[in-house]
Chain A
Amino acid sequence: MTESTLLQLALLIAPLALVGIQLTGRWQNLREVVSLVAATTLFAVVVSLYQPVLDGREIAAHWLDILPGLALAFRIEPLGLLFALVASFLWIVTTVYAIGYMRGHGEENQTRFFGLFALSIGAVMGIAFAENLFTLFIFYEVLTLCTYPLVTHAGTDKARQGGRVYLSVLIGTSVGFFLLAIVATWLLTGTLTFRAGGIFAADTDPALLSILLVLFVFGVGKAAIMPFHRWLPAAMVAPTPVSALLHAVAVVKAGVFVLLKVCLLIFGLETLKSIPATEWLLYLAGASILLASIVALRQQNLKKRLAYSTVSQLGYITLGALLATSAGMTGSALHIVMHAFGKITLFFCAGAILVAAHKTEIDELRGIGRQMPVTMTAFLVASLCIIGIPPTGGTWSKWYLMLGTFETQQWLLMGLLMLSSLLSIAYLLPIPLRAFLSGEGGEKPLVDGAGEASAIREAPLPSVIALTVTAVGCVCLLLFPDTFYQLIKSGI
């Protein structure tokens, strides 16, 4: 098979999986097999593209021209492949997890759930491999639309409320700012194709570029830069696998990935450095990091706290991209991977706790470590990964981000990153520590949150396997970051 065929295969597997899932909807086990096979195949396909991309081979597919100069076309570049690798691998793990979760939790409409899940991953592949902003924008919107029913999956009023915020913020920013920025870019340059070093002419008015950059940063609402972050906590009404894969990995990472790509391949690092707005946006990202951390501290709902933590961590990635240095970019790209593994594990744990113990609030979790040791150990490891201390992969990305601020002599931002790391210790670590250490003495063992008399046990086996895999992944990333590092280096 040629590489171009593989690329198209990667784009088509997920939509095909949707068809398969719909057709086999009546036989639960068969349906899950379809999901798993599709996920595994997709991952295999993406992996097979790794070496060619590293060798600098040109892999592209041109689908059709909508208008002269506006094409639906795809081309793989290293960052896109990185994103696709992470998303497709975690799709497998999440599918395993979701099987346990959805059955354990007795959710309805599971066929719709798995079908849309596959479609969302398809949209992610489109975003990852898009050759130009136009194609990227289309898949960006598709991703919003097909994750919306997943957010409102429960069908309750609360879910609908969350869905409304979700849709209005994401669609509003993308049509209001992102599309505007794309159109303006096209008008200025006559092209939307991603190109190393950027596409703007050297003599473009910096004021104009500033406006454009602001439009891009705010327009990509999925990157959840404050004040357009509200959709992310709102999306937490979704079933946990959705929060885990989509709102810790696929959707938010699509956002920061787009920003990374825009910074690197539309503006180019040199141009980016020279734009006055970059400085302001850096501080905005810094403020977003800090504020979100503080808000996270005050959240008592576990998933809400994790959501705000995500907002904060996304700020790191945006900040790294805006630093416009090779170290900052590397840090950002690495953090996409590290945060993905860390945060998905945390959400898996949150979901496992919900399924096994029916608990959602943080202060109910004291002492739960004794009944759910595997889950809470994974939680601890993943927390370390988010914070960025060994023995986890998060260390690398935070290291490069620090290096980036050091190189550009942004002392204030450097201090901010440190402060925020401290804050993340404060909002994450107490949860696993208390789960293991407190609650001894006279207190009786924890009872199930649903009021059943039975003792709490670990969540269903598939879920536990999944969260173990990702937690082990966090540790492995410390030891073997090279796979990703090579890819990033060839991309920047």
Chain B
Amino acid sequence: MLTHLPILQVILPLVAAPSCLIIRRASLVWLFTLAVSVAALAVSVLMLQQVYTAGPISYTLGGWQAPWGIEYRIDLLNAWVLLIVSGLSSVVLAAAHTSVAREVDSNRQTLFYTLYLLCLAGLLGIVATGDVFNVFVFLEISSLSTYALIALGRDRRALWAAFQYLIMGTIGATFILIGIGFLYMMTGTLNMADLAVRLPALGNSATVLAAFAFIFVGICLKLALFPLHQWLPNAYSYAPSIVTAFLAATATKVALYLLLRFTVTVFGVELSLASLPLESLLIGLGLVGVFAASAVAIYQVDIKRMFAYSSVAQIGYMVVGIGIGTATALQATLLHLFNHALMKGGLFLALAGLVYRVGACRIEHFRGLGGAMPWTMAAIVVGGISLIGVPLTVGFVSKWYLIAAAVDSGLWWVAVLVVLGSLLAVAYIWRLVEAAYFQPPADATRGEAPIGLLAPTWLLIGANLYFGIDTRLPVEVTAAAAQFLLGGAQ
């Protein structure tokens, strides 16, 4: 049983997805989905333990040996990301029942959970697999289900947002496919480990560089790296709240994982960071993203949209970490991957609570919210503080490592800009605090969000605080993962 963990991780939600259609009753489907997601979480916990103690797991699908057959390869990096994805998915799902009942038409709720599981399967598949074509397949599974999930939003603009994402996402996926094609053409293999062995021999051939460019741009589209982020704010703001929370906590993280996997493992630091000017490109784009997106966030009226722009900014920080490229910097990125999932998961779930009560979450709905929904608002404030990066929250930990990494590499200006970027976060969080605690309530009839939403929200917000104080687990795992990543690339 234990030897089959890697495939179980993916196959469980994949098979469970169509089964939802048989169950049909919304609350039963929800329970079933939740059970599946928790099972996936259990699998990823077991795998992380195994990888941490015994080293990487290689699993050959159907017994066909790599590089001919498909290999699932779990090392510390993807075990970590798998844990984040399945964990956040489970917490978000726990809140889904209450929120979805309110936000999705009742005849579509079964469909919703089916799509959710498909999306989860796709995301887990991307992370678990060690085969580049498999990456593309799972990418399409997760993307297609994501488009549909976004389109389930009640707001008619959700359709348009989904369509926009469909176009952009398809371009991204196609680029990735073209790149994979080039790689196959040059090396005759699709296995990541095998590619990593064969590619250095080819040197800087134009085809390899073209492959790299296509894959890089394709992934950046899915990642919503500035300036390819246009689809993200729309998609996040018009999708049902649960979908937003799910995507914000997992989808961008998986794209970031792909970026790391391709630049560091497949192409190797030699090619991607040393011989190409990728370092300055990633740092530059990341920082511009931080400032541009944060500045735009300050002026947003719709708060979901504001946090969506904030996500673009946070992705900037993670990309800066990859750009710096040292072990500490990669560790900062991996930490922020986890931390940002906790923050944004918690924040969007808190917003889901507001949407549940009010039906929307524009800035004027925040007026007097400190009195009307004290717990929800407190969650938003703590999440916001974590986003800013104040000590004793997780946000501080990852920023600390990022700054330390920048300075270790002599990039003083990057360190200063990272700190200044946090000030912009203060500006947009402060607007919410001011509205919620300093302005009189718009109407006094609102109550606190239901416990079904509040409990998962506070689970994540509490994790923001817990892992901000007891930092051992994330710091140790990411330190080992970053070491492994750089060591394994040679």
B388 contacts across to A, CB distance below 8 A: 175
Q: Residues of A contacting B407 with CB < 8 Å?
A: 187
Could you say which of A67, A138, A180 contacts B471, with CB atoms under 8 Å apart? A67
Answer yes or no: A453 CB below 8 A from chain B CBs. Answer: no
Q: Is the CB of B397 within 8 A of A141?
A: no
What's the nearest-Cβ distance from chain A to residue B401, in Å? 8
Bound state CA distance, A452 and B419, in angstroms?
A: 57
Nearest Cβ in chain A — how far from B256, in angstroms? 22
CB distance from B381 to the nearest CB of A (A): 10
B326 to chain A, nearest CB (A): 15
Whether the Cβ atoms of B400 and A70 lie closer than 8 Å is yes
* Interface assignment of B403: CB less than 8 Å from any CB of chain A: yes
Query: Which one of B4-12, B148-156, B269-277, B422-430 is at the A interface?
Result: B422-430
Contact partners of A179 in chain B: CB under 8 A: 390, 419
Query: What does the 1/0 interface line of B384-400 toward A look like (CB < 8 Å)?
Result: 00001011100001001
Judge whether B426 and A175 touch: CB under 8 Å: yes
Min CB distance, A69 to chain B, in Å? 9
Interface residue A168 (Cβ < 8 Å from any Cβ of B): yes
**Which of A67, A137, A141, A183 is B419 in contact with, Cβ under 8 Å?**
A183
Question: Residue A164 at the B interface, CB < 8 A?
Answer: yes
Q: Is B438 in contact with A134, judged by CB distance below 8 angstroms?
A: no
Cβ of B392: which chain A residues have Cβ within 8 Å of it? 66, 138
Which residues of chain B come closer than 8 Å to A180, judged between CB atoms? Answer: 419
Q: Which of A's residues lie within 8 Å of B, judged by CB?
A: 64, 66-67, 70, 134, 137-138, 141, 160, 163-164, 168, 171-172, 175-176, 179-180, 183, 187
Binary flags per residue of B80-107, CB closer than 8 Å to A gives 1, else 0? 0000000000000000000000000000
Pairs across A and B, CB under 8 Å, 21 listed: A64-B470, A66-B391, A66-B392, A66-B468, A67-B471, A138-B391, A141-B390, A160-B438, A163-B438, A168-B430, A172-B426, A175-B388, A175-B390, A175-B423, A175-B426, A176-B423, A176-B426, A179-B419, A180-B419, A183-B400, A183-B403
* Least CB distance, B331 to chain A, in whole angstroms: 11
Most buried by A among B397, B400, B469: B400
Interface residue B404 (Cβ < 8 Å from any Cβ of A): yes
A176→B438 CA distance, assembly (Å): 22
User: Which residue among B390, B397, B415, B475 has the maximum number of chain A CB atoms within 10 Å of its CB?
Assistant: B390
CB distance from A4 to the nearest CB of B (A): 21
How many whole Å from A126's CB to the nearest CB in chain B?
A: 13
A176 CB contacts on chain B under 8 angstroms: 423, 426
Bound-state Cα–Cα, A160 to B426, Å: 20
B interface residues, Cβ below 8 angstroms from A: 388, 390-392, 397, 400, 403-404, 407, 415, 419, 422-423, 426, 430, 434, 438, 468-471, 475
Once the chains are docked, how many angstroms separate the CA of A171 from the CA of B423? Answer: 11
User: What's the least CB distance linking B168 to chain A, in Å?
Assistant: 35
Q: In whole angstroms, how far apart are the Cα atoms of A138 and B465 in the complex?
A: 14
List chain A residues, Cβ under 8 A from B430. 168
Please give, as numbers and ranges, the residues of chain A lying within 8 Å of B426 by CB-CB distance: 171-172, 175-176
**Smallest CB–CB gap between A30 and chain B, Å?**
27
Q: Point out the residues of chain B lying under 8 angstroms from A163, CB to CB.
A: 438
In the complex, besides A66-B392, A66-B468, A164-B434, 6 extra interface pairs with C-beta distance below 8 angstroms are A64-B469, A160-B438, A168-B430, A175-B422, A176-B423, A179-B390
Contacts of B390 in A (CB 8 A): 141, 175, 179
Tell whether A67 pairs with B438 under 8 Å between CB atoms, given A175-B388, A187-B407, A187-B415: no
The minimal Cβ–Cβ distance linking B111 to chain A, given in whole angstroms, is: 45
Select from chain A the residue with minimum beta-carbon distance to B403: A183
User: A64 to chain B: which residues have CB within 8 Å?
Assistant: 469-470
Nearest CB of chain B from residue A220's CB, rounded to whole Å: 16
Residue of B415, B430, B438 with most partner-chain A CB within 10 A: B438
Q: Which residues of B contact A172 (CB under 8 A)?
A: 426
Q: Which residue of A lies closest to B404 (CB)?
A: A187
Complex Cα distance, B407 from A64, in Å, reads 25
- Specify which of B391, B403, B423, B438 is in contact with A187 (CB 8 Å cutoff): B403
Cβ contacts under 8 Å, A160 to chain B? 438
- Within the complex, which residue of A134, A164, A168, A171 is in contact with B391, where a contact is CB–CB below 8 Å? A134
State the CA gap A138–B469 with chains docked (Å). 12
Q: Which residue, A64, A67, A70, has most C-beta atoms of chain B within 10 A?
A: A67
Chain B residues, CB < 8 A from A164:
434, 438
Decide: A67 near B475, CB < 8 A? Known: A180-B419, A187-B404.
yes
A168–B177 alpha-carbon span in the complex (Å): 50
In the assembled complex, the CB of A188 is this many whole angstroms from the nearest CB of chain B, namely 9
How many Å lie between the Cα of A164 and that of B392 in the bound state? 24
Across-interface contacts of A183 in B (CB, < 8 A) = 400, 403, 415, 419
Most B-side CB within 10 Å, residue of A134, A141, A171, A183: A183
A421 to B471, CA, bound (A): 52
Instruction: Using CB atoms, name the residue of chain B closest to A174.
Output: B390
When C-beta atoms are compared, the residue in chain A nearest to B391 turns out to be A138
- Of all chain A residues, the one with the shortest Cβ separation from B419 is A180
Known: A172-B426, A175-B390, A175-B426. A66 touches B471 (CB 8 A): yes
Q: How far, in angstroms, from A175 to B395 measured CA to CA in the complex? A: 14
Does the CB pair A67–B400 fall under 8 Å? yes
Minimum C-beta distance from A5 to chain B (A): 23
Determine how close the nearest CB of chain B comes to the CB of A314; give it in whole angstroms: 25
CB contacts (< 8 Å) of B475 on chain A: these are 67
In the complex, A168 Cα to B431 Cα: how many Å?
11
CB contacts (< 8 Å) of A67 on chain B: these are 397, 400, 471, 475
